[in-house]
Amino acid sequence: MNPTDATAVLPDLLATASLPDRYARRPIRVWARSGVERLVFDGGMSVVFKYAEYPFDNEDHVLVEAAGAGLPVPAVHASAHRDGLLAMLIEDLGDARRQADLDDGARAAVELHAVPTLPGLSRLGRTELAALPTSAAGILGRFDLPDDVRAGLDSLVAAADARAEGAELAPFGLVHSEFHHTSLHVTDEGVRVLDLARAFVGPGLLDLASWHGTIDAPDVERVRELIDLYRGQGGAPSAAEDRGGLDAASWALGWHRVWAAEWFAQQLDLGWADGAEDAWLTAISRHLIEAAGLLKV
């Protein structure tokens, strides 16, 4: 992505938001396909300038709709879409008081999943969930995977429909999809939910499985503890119920690993690895082996 494209939209965004056209730009985080900057105006007032390419270009709509549904998210001051690029000015929440902890995560997840649906979001119900291994297999067929990984993927495809049973059991609603402590911003005023660019409607347990990340080996007991904490904060009692013939924590971790592997495969298909295909295939392979073990296929 060329940040110049986003810069070209700035004058219109500032005018729409009735903000001055003189400011200092301070990068916060800039990635290959999105960026976050702070615009600081005379007097110290500031806003956040965020821009992103497809498929991350729907976040402005998600933030507006989520706020309307009562979810604590940054306010959108102005946004524009041009040639597959989203550029928006959103509320600057300032510096976080501390890192979000497990209690914050459980409470925020309850609020997220209480939003049943939002306009324009994709849905990941039982049928769509069960299709993920087949989708990944279709993309990865042109790559040289180790025999055990290929066998694990074939087993996931064969068992997907049975293991996806219970996907629409509560909690089923708005899913952040990349729910970690960095997805929450803690200030004295409370906790706000950030980075909803890849949100969808689906099984809320995937967010709980996402909290501890995918770098370390999956830990079923930690997810089980988070599910219990989530229920204690007002989450759906059925969050702890078995589904797909498995306990809730194993089911959530297994399907989250499948979801992550399929997403990486999509990025490979789009050419985003940019010379790092081997490393990406290694990560995908690890996710698939972990998923096959967790889902007991």
Q: What confidence tens digit (pLDDT) does each residue in 17-75 have?
A: 999 999 999 999 988 788 999 999 998 999 999 999 988 999 999 999 999 999 999 99
Alpha-carbon distance 91 to 182, whole Å? 17
Please indicate, yes or no, whether residues 144 and 261 belong to a single structural domain of this protein. Answer: yes
If one counts the domains in the chain, the total is 2
DSSP state, residue 79: E
pLDDT value of position 220: 98
Write down the mean pLDDT value for the chain. Answer: 95
Do residues 211 and 180 lie in contact, with contact meaning Cβ atoms separated by under 8 Å?
Answer: yes
pLDDT value of position 70: 95
Final residue belonging to a domain, choices 91, 112, 147: 91
pLDDT band at residue 143 using 50, 70 and 90 as cut-offs: very high
Alpha-carbon distance 134 to 239, whole Å? 26
Please indicate, yes or no, whether residues 24 and 78 belong to a single structural domain of this protein. Answer: yes
Nearest to 112 by CA among 13, 193, 195: 193
pLDDT value of position 83: 86
Please indicate, yes or no, whether residues 282 and 147 belong to a single structural domain of this protein. Answer: yes
Domain that holds residue 77: 3-91
**Is 144 within a domain?**
yes
User: Which residues in 74-157 belong to E strands, given as ranges?
Assistant: 76-82, 85-91
Please indicate, yes or no, whether residues 11 and 144 belong to a single structural domain of this protein. Answer: no
For the entire predicted model, the pTM comes to 0.94
Share of the chain above pLDDT 90, in %: 89
